[in-house]
Amino acid sequence: MKNIVVLISGRGSNFAAIAEVARKENWAADGVAIAAVVSNRPDAAGLEKAKAFGIATHVVDHKAFNTREAFEDAMMKVIDAYHPEVLVLAGFMRILTPHFVDHYEGRILNIHPALLPLFKGLDTHQRAINEGVRIAGCTVHFVSSELDGGSIIGQAVVPVLPSDTADALAHRVLRLEHILYPRSVKAVAQGRVKIVDGRTITDDETAKTLAVFDGETGSVA
């Protein structure tokens, strides 16, 4: 079984989307399973969602540690017990050190609410509107030591409308995040997407499923 471990800090909407797709598509039959959800916050709402899916949960409270390295070492001990093929960041609000990233090189995934390499960092939707771009979206990427700088796995695209506010644009992008992220996680877990010499390698059919456009449904092509 190819195990997935998800890291959260809050409500876990992207985690819940991944878990729901995994349940509907019976990922276990394909040898893929979400083995555990780990949070740095004991009050994270996503923990209850994980329990509702019957997924193991763990809390490693960052406030209980004097250094970031000690916190990450404790996280790694919990995570490594599951021998994960993929580590998914789903609203995990802690900056990871190179020590942690290097330990899981080529296995950590993140989703960013912009079309990387554009609009790294925060306030992506307002910045897209301010710059007058005609399309926006989200990007799933491998995590590297550079913030929002890892190799791209998949992207989803929506138009930026003249009437858009940052909240309205974020709402449309989030719907596509919930389509793109599950597809990306499963593809990496199954070895259909890999990182080689800093570049993402995949096949044409998988690549088609990892380019998502406004109007698509959640069904996998």
Element (H, E) at 20: helix 13-24
Select from 158, 138, 111 the least CA-distant residue to 12: 111
Q: What are the angstrom distances between the C-alpha of 92 and each of 76, 87, 188, 210?
A: 15, 11, 19, 22
Active site residue 178: no
Question: Dihedrals φ, ψ of 47, to 5°?
Answer: -65, -40
- Per DSSP bridges, beta strands 193-196 and 32-39 are unpaired
- Per DSSP bridges, beta strands 86-89 and 56-59 are unpaired
Q: Which of 58, 62, 99, 112 is catalytic?
A: 112
Q: Which residues are registered as beta bridge partners of 167?
A: none
Element (H, E) at 6: strand 2-8
The token pair that represents 76 in the structure block: 């790694």
Question: Which residue numbers are catalytic?
Answer: 112
